[in-house]
């Protein structure tokens, strides 16, 4: 009986705040869960400065996903330098392989912009060959003089949406410990 009464108390304790939480949630939406992607840039020794800068740009421009160097563990994506044209093989959900190709550098394209562009593919952005320098994903359709290495507003919004796993609060009764608890889960 004691367990049952505590369970009922738990149900009330869960339900009553939820009613109030609707108003609170409207006034102050919960911060989205931040996804951190780890990268391994050991295969691109000639691009280290540009990778650092491109990562700084992305981390400053978006919030729902952040980039950090992998430290011994498994990397979500890799950056490798090649003699060919830059390309990315996205694996979905922030994974994949980036090839930082020297051929585009030889043709005059900016290394930091190339790097930020390829990371954009990892973050789920497609190419957009609109020729605009302000569009990061315009790639080589923009002139070689273009050094913009930040996503524009629409590109930022798309990446935020790609990594916008909304949070919900799950309230549950734990029969083993005879206690009610809440946990936060990504939906
Ligand atoms: Zn591209």
Distance 24 CA to ligand 1 centre (A): 42
Distance 160 CA to ligand 1 centre (A): 19
Helix (H) or strand (E) holding 98: strand 95-101
Distance CA(182)–CA(187), nearest Å, equals 15
Distance 75 CA to ligand 1 centre (A): 21
**pTM for this structure?**
0.74
Mean pLDDT across the chain, nearest whole number?
Answer: 84
Beta bridge partners of 69: 39
For residue 77, pLDDT beyond 80? yes
Distance 176 CA to ligand 1 centre (A): 52
pLDDT, tens only, 2-30: 666 767 766 776 666 556 555 555 555 55
Distance CA(112)–CA(132), nearest Å, equals 17
What residues are neighbours of ligand 1 (ion), with CB under 5 Å?
127, 139
Beta bridge partners of 170: 183
Q: Residue with structure tokens 């009922």?
A: 8
pLDDT, tens only, 132-149: 999 999 999 999 999 999
Please identify every residue annotated as catalytic: 118
Distance 126 CA to ligand 1 centre (A): 7
Which long-range contacts does 81-89 make (Cβ < 8 Å, 24+ apart)? Answer: 81/43, 81/44, 81/45, 81/46, 81/47, 86/114, 86/117, 86/118, 87/118, 88/118, 88/121, 88/122
Q: Residue with structure tokens 């160097």?
A: 69
């Amino acid at each position: 009986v004691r367990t049952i009464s505590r369970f009922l108390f738990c149900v009330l304790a869960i339900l009553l705040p939820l009613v109030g939480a609707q108003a609170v949630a409207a006034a102050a939406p919960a911060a989205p869960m931040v996804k951190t992607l780890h990268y391994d840039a050991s295969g691109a020794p000639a691009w280290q400065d540009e990778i650092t800068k491109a990562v700084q740009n992305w981390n400053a421009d978006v919030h729902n996903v952040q980039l950090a160097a992998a430290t011994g563990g498994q990397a979500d994506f890799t950056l490798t330098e090649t003699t060919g044209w830059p390309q990315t093989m996205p694996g979905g959900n922030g994974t994949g392989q980036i090839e930082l190709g020297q051929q585009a550098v030889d043709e005059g394209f900016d290394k930091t912009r190339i790097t930020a562009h390829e990371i954009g593919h990892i973050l789920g952005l497609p190419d957009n060959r609109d020729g605009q320098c302000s569009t990061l994903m315009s790639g080589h359709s923009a002139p070689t003089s273009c050094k913009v290495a930040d996503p524009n507003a629409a590109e930022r919004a798309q990446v935020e949406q790609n990594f916008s796993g909304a949070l919900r609060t799950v309230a549950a009764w734990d029969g083993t410990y005879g206690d009610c608890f809440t946990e936060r889960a990504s939906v």
